[in-house]
Amino acid sequence: MYLVGAGPGDPELLTLRAVRLLQRTEVVVYDHLVSSAVLDFVAPSAERIYAGKRRNEHTMRQEQINALLVKLAQQGKQVVRLKGGDPFIFGRGGEELQALAAHGIAFEVVPGITAASGVSCYAGIPLTHRDHAQTCLFVTGHLKDGSADLDWPSLVRPNQTVVIYMGLGGLADICRQLMAHGAAPDLPIAVVQDGSIATQKVVTGTLADMPERVTREGLRSPCLTIIGDVVKLHDSLAWFKPETTATTS
């Protein structure tokens, strides 16, 4: 069994190991965040099983996915479990491997470029910078119980960047809580939709006005939220032009 990270979306960001495994796998079990361009690398003869999850819309519960992976492995098939980003960063990869380990099934993990790194690069927002941020925190905006009860005091420390995965649905509450715990209302924030692919869209603003901006722009998942002074660098460092990619690809 191979647990493989598919990266943030751009197929050029796949590792060589990931491509080789996809080209010779018998079965691929993939998530919603895996782009169609990445799936183009899957062997034509391979069985494809969609196990995607969107907010409030799960094709399979996590327990069902775990059981499916165990069943496929026990059938002796070569299986790639393909996850967007990196499988060990908010990807539930650890939970799935625990299920395999409990049944004595051997596995290999192939890292992927996590969304925080890939999306921030394509948005022209460095996560660290000597003049702006010496610390970077990765946070999930959607906990296992469905809440967003985060360690707010740790998220409002100065000179740091906070990257929030899966935080679009609770963005208004996140911004409100950060300000209530001492963050300045004018703290820069960016929300990036479809990072690294042709439909990428970057919306920047402040904690005070971002919820309204996101609603006005009609942003939808998948989105990544970046908070901190580094967001100010977006205007000068944004190199990726999605409209050009869409025209020339």
Of 10, 40, 53, 201, which is the active-site residue?
53
**Sign, Cα dihedral of 139, 49, 39, 93:** positive
Q: How far, in Å, CA of 200 to CA of 196, rounded?
A: 6
Alpha helix locations (H) across 25-78? 36-39, 62-74
Is 53 labeled as catalytic in the residue annotation?
A: yes
Of 10, 31, 86, 194, which is the active-site residue?
31
Q: How far, in Å, CA of 126 to CA of 104, rounded?
A: 41
Question: How many other CB atoms are there within 10 angstroms of residue 11's CB atom?
Answer: 18
Is 71 labeled as catalytic in the residue annotation?
A: no
Q: Which residues pair with 58 in a beta bridge?
A: 53
Rounded to 10 degrees, the C-alpha dihedral 104/108/114/118 comes to -160
Closest residue by Cα to residue 194 from 227, 226, 221: 221
Q: How far, in Å, CA of 187 to CA of 206, rounded?
A: 5
Give me the active site residues, please: 31, 53
